[in-house]
Chains A and B, each alone.
Chain A
Amino acid sequence: MAASNVLLAPPRRLPAAVLLTVLPAFLLLTGFLLVPLLLLALYSVYSTDPVTGLMRPDFTLDNYLRIVTSSVYRRVFVRTVEIAVVCTLIALLIAYPVGYTLGAIVPRRRQPFLLLLVIVPFWTSYIVRTYGWIGFLQNGGFLDSVLSLLLPGTVQLDLLYSRVAVVIGFVHVFLPLMILPIYAITRSLDRRLLEASADLGAPPWRTFLRVTLPLTWPGVVAGASLYFIAVFGSFVTPQLLGGTGDLMIGNLIADQFGEAFNWPLGAALAVVITLVVLVALGIFFRFADLERLHG
């Protein structure tokens, strides 16, 4: 009986060797991602002892209620989305031409070097690169000096500690996240499709709209979502380059875990933005998948 089943039924279990190969990744993700996330979810329903300020095991939705009802959190949340969207759009305008040039125009043998130029800054600490902008943007800094040389007069941009500085900082620090996927997809773009389009009567800009853009769209979506998530969860850039009106969700969370020492509230905030990001990702990839269906 058992023997006939073995013959008829397809093997249900993966071979042990296959399971072994995924084991390290499984342990790593479970131990260092899933468990902390679950802990975070757990903390988010704890309460804080009003006297000692210590976290108390409990079950309460107060933290979430506070987030939903407080106008401060809503305002910061909306601002975070605004900043992330604006930065993503600006970054796209820069990353697409760069990624496209690297992938489709530069000869293959010169691509590795130019790609290195895109990646190398990424090896420098995010914080260091952000500090770099302070010297560049501050009142009387590099930018102002150059401007006063070019236009002697009283040009003082005074960009530091403003929304503009935050956006500049963000656009710069995470740019490679967007360039790389766009580069990868334009590299695999079949040049003959562009020739076919021209052959059928489409001038270059029509070819771009009808062939290049649709075929590189999955790369745009991948790059944009990576980039969006990176900006959305950041707190260093607004802290270093922004003013008081430029704080983002990440700053609020960092504050709860740090200065305010209100872990349950910080955890609840983290859970909320994790969910928001997951939903945003889902929508992003819907867009990509729609295109993929055709491709």
Chain B
Amino acid sequence: MTMYDVELQNVTKRFGSVVAVDHIDLCVPRGTFLTLLGPSGCGKTTTLRMIGGFEHPDEGTIVIAGQLMGRTPPYRRPTSMVFQNYALFPHLTVAENIAYGLRERRLDRQTIERRVQEMLRLVALEGYGNRYPRQLSGGQQQRVALARSLVIEPAVLLLDEPLGALDLKLRRQMQLELKRIQNQVGITFIYVTHDQEEALTMSDQIAVMNQGRIEQLGPPEELFDRPRTRFVADFLGAANVLTAEVLAADRTSACLALAGGRLVVHEPDLAPGQTVAVVIRPHWLRFARDGDAAVWQGRVTERVYKGATIAYRVELDAVTAVTVEVPTGTGDLLPTVGETVGLAVAPDRVRVVRE
């Protein structure tokens, strides 16, 4: 028995001359909340649609719940999809929408009725069974779509930017709701979004996609703290990406020169003279106090108050500026625009990334 619910091997999909999905490999362990994250056109939706059976790969294989899929149509797959704009049947009531898949499975009336009620309870829509989709708010329609898919007990639930049409507050609420429901039903969720915050909030695993490939796959913390490529660092949260030169290197660490400062990082396999990209998150930087070794001296050119934090823009030299984000309310004396400040960073925070 395989421990993976979904396995993609070397999957490629082309539309005409455009390669939408480019030889990707992906294994999703049972019960995982996996997010495919990336900008529009990165192939995430195509990947999801191939798993659902709406598109078929030109190369490679897809195995779902141990079954090789080939060209199996959607109606014979153990997956179910929550569509971007819900795709609720407008001519059916909420209860009839949820019962749709059960009726295809020829269950008896009482069982269907009972399961529909259970689902309405799960998504907190009890008493809404007789309404029509157009009589519901966006958030409620979203929950009906979720219930309609979950009720058929798929091995894998596919979600195509299901929160995209909701306003921010409702979206945050639904993120937690989705995570709660996933924990409760315990099945594999594959979630497509371009919203990094959504991905970080809900996922067990995130696959960052770019130009039809998976750039990096891992838990949210790992992707955020240890991005492997410039793209991942940029896409997941704010990042200062600087170009550095390797001054000296040994087996475990290297000394880098960047923007006039010198920094020792724990990064193997670098060679002196090499040019590398370095990622420093804004909140990893801090203003140097007395006794702190400042790596850079810079001039504050901008200050944006954000409530819990303040974001500063600090010019290090004529061509390099970084964003520094510091928490408010710590009692520290914070610089003002025009001031010259020292900046420090913990060396183990700095990441060297591939372009």
Contact = CB atoms under 8 A, between A and B. Distances in A.
Contact of A215 (B75, B79, B90, B152): B90
Contacts of B4: none
15 contacts: A193-B89, A195-B54, A196-B81, A196-B88, A197-B100, A198-B74, A199-B75, A199-B81, A200-B148, A201-B104, A201-B105, A202-B100, A214-B91, A294-B92, A295-B91
A153 interface: no
Given A190-B87, A295-B91, 15 more contacts: A192-B83, A192-B85, A192-B87, A193-B90, A195-B54, A195-B81, A196-B88, A196-B89, A198-B75, A201-B152, A202-B75, A203-B73, A215-B90, A215-B91, A291-B91
Interface string B93-123: 0000000110011000000000000000000
Chain A contact residues: helix, strand, loop or mixed: helix
Contacts of B89: 193, 196-197, 211
Interface string B192-236: 000000000000000000000000000000000000000000000
Interface string A163-200: 00000000000000000000000000010110111111
Nearest to A206: B104
B80 interface: yes
Nearest to B134: A295
A209 to B, nearest CB: 11
B162 interface: no
A188 B88 CA distance: 15
A121 B234 CA distance: 60
Interface of A: 190, 192-193, 195-203, 206, 210-211, 214-215, 291, 294-295
Nearest to A294: B91
B128 interface: no
A197 B89 CA distance: 9
A206 B81 CA distance: 18
A249 B75 CA distance: 51
| Chain B facing A: main interface SS | loop
Contacts of B75: 198-203
A194 to B, nearest CB: 9
Contacts of A190: 87
Contact of A196 (B83, B91, B105): B83
B157 to A, nearest CB: 11
B132 interface: yes
B282 interface: no
B93 to A, nearest CB: 8
A86 B101 CA distance: 37
Given A200-B80, A200-B148, A294-B132, A195 B104 contact: no
Interface in B49-71: 52-54
B328 to A, nearest CB: 46
Contacts of B54: 195, 198-199
A202 B89 CA distance: 13
A196 B87 CA distance: 7
Nearest to A192: B87
A198 B85 CA distance: 16
B91 A201 contact: no
Contacts of B105: 201
B132 A199 contact: no
Contacts of B74: 195, 198-199
Contacts of A295: 90-91
Task: Give the 10 A-B residue pairs with the shortest CB-CB distance, closest first.
Answer: A200-B101, A201-B104, A196-B87, A192-B87, A294-B91, A198-B74, A199-B74, A295-B91, A198-B75, A199-B81
Given A195-B83, A294-B92, A295-B90, A200 B73 contact: no
